[in-house]
């Protein structure tokens, strides 16, 4: 049976680092208080000339290099972002052009912080069905352009970055089977107001008033979002592990969306996952939305936290509301 497998990962953070001191003047928090509240010490912000597709290209090329494959050999490009270069064309098409992947299908996915796993599910389906042989999955975000620096709830959290994974199809003759074992996707639109950018779409088009009222920036209800994120994601993980007949002790590593340090710690405690089995990049990267999971995954691989045949748990939660979990045998 054909199975999809990740054969290369890559990540990219812009060179500009932004300290807690730089983002805290608009809030009541001093730099140390920002760290205690979020787990973040610095985050990276894109330079003036960088667009989301530029970050995506850097991560994509690194993933292809790690896999030993040319970007031109990719036949499908899926790009997760909610901070695209423009409303259209898709940022994936900009990426396809810059990579020289002529003829490759290319499209964007907008599932907020869950976008990487939504894209992973699509890539897995494409490969299993024979629609794609080599699928490049990228998540790239420039959230710094959507921040109100006077809003304490969001200004201290978000950074910019990109992460990528290259998937290929392989015959599933391994025992135990390796590759993507399962991806489960969820959504609840009733919670859409917990985190959003209110203006800029057809529901509330851009106007002088929306700009004046700062409605093109991220708005978040932190405490309700925290509670529902931990509950929904922990529940989805529990269901997934039960479905595949494995426990926390069977996991080699768990990689979650890097929302903030407190959420990561709360999910770990609720599921009984020890800190040494969870990879965190929140302290040096901040919350990079859908890019955070592949950035953390690439870091875990680079640090030798994930080895061949390890069971790896992936989990995300974000706006929409959306959440997703996946189980991979490396």
- Give 104-127 as a DSSP string: -EEEEE--GGGHHHHHHHHHHHHH
Whether 113 is catalytic: yes
Whether 287 is catalytic: yes
How are beta strands 76-80 and 105-109 bridged, if at all? Answer: parallel
CA distance 56 to 163: 7
Active-site residue (options: 20, 93, 135, 287): 287
How are beta strands 16-19 and 42-45 bridged, if at all? Answer: antiparallel
Whether 279 is catalytic: no
Active-site residue (options: 113, 135, 260, 279): 113
- Residue 17: φ, ψ to 5°: -100, 140
Six-digit token string for 35: 């760290």
CA distance 183 to 166: 16
Residue 240, class by beta-carbon neighbours within 10 Å (0-12 exposed, 13-18 middle, 19+ buried)? buried
Q: Are 110 and 88 in contact (CB under 8 A)?
A: no
Active-site residue (options: 54, 64, 257, 279): 257
Task: DSSP letter for 270, please.
Answer: H
Q: What is the largest CA-CA distance in the chain?
A: 61
Q: Among all residues, which ones are annotated catalytic? A: 113, 257, 287
């Amino acid at each position: 049976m054909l199975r999809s497998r990740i054969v290369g990962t890559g990540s990219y953070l812009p060179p500009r680092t932004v300290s807690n001191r730089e983002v805290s003047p608009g809030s009541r928090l001093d730099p140390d208080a920002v760290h205690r509240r979020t787990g973040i010490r610095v985050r990276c912000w894109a330079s003036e000339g960088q667009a989301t597709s530029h970050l995506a290209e850097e991560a994509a090329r690194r993933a292809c290099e790690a896999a030993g494959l040319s970007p031109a050999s990719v036949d499908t490009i899926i790009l997760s972002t909610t901070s695209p270069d423009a409303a259209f064309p898709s940022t994936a098409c900009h990426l396809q052009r810059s990579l020289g992947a002529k003829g490759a299908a290319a499209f964007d996915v907008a599932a907020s912080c869950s976008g990487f796993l939504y894209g992973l599910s699509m890539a897995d389906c494409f490969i299993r069905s024979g629609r794609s042989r080599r699928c490049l999955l990228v998540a790239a975000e420039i959230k710094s352009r959507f921040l109100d620096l006077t809003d304490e709830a969001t200004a201290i959290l978000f950074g910019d970055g990109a992460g990528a994974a290259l998937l290929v199809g392989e015959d599933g003759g391994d025992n135990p089977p390796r590759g993507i074992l399962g991806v489960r996707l969820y959504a609840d639109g009733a919670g859409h107001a917990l985190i959003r950018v209110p203006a800029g779409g057809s529901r509330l088009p851009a106007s002088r008033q929306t700009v004046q009222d700062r409605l093109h920036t991220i708005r978040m209800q932190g405490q309700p979002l925290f509670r529902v994120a931990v509950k929904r994601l922990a529940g989805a993980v529990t269901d997934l592990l039960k479905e595949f007949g494995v426990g926390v002790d069977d996991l080699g590593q768990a990689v979650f969306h890097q929302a903030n340090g407190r959420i990561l710690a709360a999910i770990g405690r609720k599921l009984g996952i020890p800190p040494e089995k969870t990879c965190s990049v929140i302290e040096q990267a901040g919350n990079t939305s859908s890019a955070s999971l592949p950035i953390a995954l690439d870091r875990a691989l680079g640090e030798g936290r994930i080895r061949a045949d390890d069971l790896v748990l992936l989990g995300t939660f974000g706006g929409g509301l959306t959440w997703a979990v996946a189980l991979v045998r490396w």
